[in-house]
Every structure is written in structure tokens, then in C-alpha cells.
Structure 1
Amino acid sequence: MTMMSLNRIHIPVVSDSRGSLAFIEQGGAVPFVPSSVWLASVPSRFDGCGAVVALRGSVTVGGSLTIGDPSEGVLFSDGCDIVVSSGGVALVVGADVSGGIG
């Protein structure tokens, strides 16, 4: 049985009088080339490696890490199950299949 790798990350946030903007970019908190983006609002399974951010509500990743703020995220390296709270929305950024979390 392979152990799933989950790592909590900090997502940069820029705030001004209009509100706050959290952003994900290669070379920052995400050590891979983002190649796809999904919005998840129901329990989902994502394969490969990527990152998850809770945009609204809370998100439990891999059954063990729960996040609930756009300034925090979770990197996963071997696929994971994502469970979004009722009314919640998660942003999932997938990595290029040739990339990986190093």
C-alpha cells in the first residue's frame, strides 16, 4: 500500500480596499506546472498530483486534512479524495503529467 503524500501550503493573498485576492502560481507555493483547473462542489476523486484550495466553506483532502480559508491549501502527489462541505466550493489545480511534487 502506497502512502499518500499531503502537504499543507500557504497561498499568497493581496488585500486592498476592494477585498482580497488569493493566487496560485508556478514557482511560488506550487512546485509544478499548473495544466488544468477544476471547481469541485461535490465529493470527487482527483488522480495525479495537484493542489486544492477552499474558495467557500471547508474542504477535507485525503480524509485527513481540512482547510477552510483561501490563504491555505493542500498539495497532493498521488491523487486524493476531496470532500467539500455543504454549499462549499474548492479549486483544484492539476499538474502536468510530466511534472510532480518534489
Structure 2
Amino acid sequence: MAPWTNRPMAWSCLAGGQIFSGSDTQAMRLLTALREVKDEIGANSIDQAIYTWVRRLPPNPLAIVGSGKIERVESDIESLKYNLSREQRYKIWTASKGCEVP
């Protein structure tokens, strides 16, 4: 059986670009946390921090890249080399939700 079978697929990991252009409180909180994590792990872009976070979710989803631009696909592939600590994963989660982990 192939290693990618029976895994959920994560579509629109970048929220259709709204993560970068959103101006509400949640989007700004999330963008700040993603920038911090990007710098902490040495990623080249926020996209890479997002894809790294998605891949580290418990169901081990396949992150679907919706871009036809080869640079975006290459950036996603490069994100495989990064890892997040538990604290970094929860930093992104709490920024998105606006509350601490229960």
C-alpha cells in the first residue's frame, strides 16, 4: 500500500491568499505568529511555515498545492525539511483561534 493512501488531503492551506491579505484581528494575529515561526525555523517564506504546520497535524495530511507556478510548488517541497516544536505548533493554533489550547 502506498504511504499516501488513507490520509486526509488539506486543500487551500494558504486560505486562498487571505492569510496574506486579511485585515481582521484574526488574520493579523495569525500572520504575526507565522512570521515568528518562519524566522525561528529558518524558512524562506510564510508559505513554508504553513505547509510545515499542516503536515505536522496529527492525521498527517497531504498538503495540496493549488498553484500552477513551479516556484510555489518547489517552495512547498522545500518545506519538507523543516520541523516545528510543540510550542511553535501551538503558537500558530492559538493565533488562529484567539485563545489558549484547552
Whether these two folds match at TM > 0.5 is no
TM-score normalised by L of structure 2: 0.30
Return the structure number with greater strand share.
1
TM-score normalised by L of structure 1: 0.30
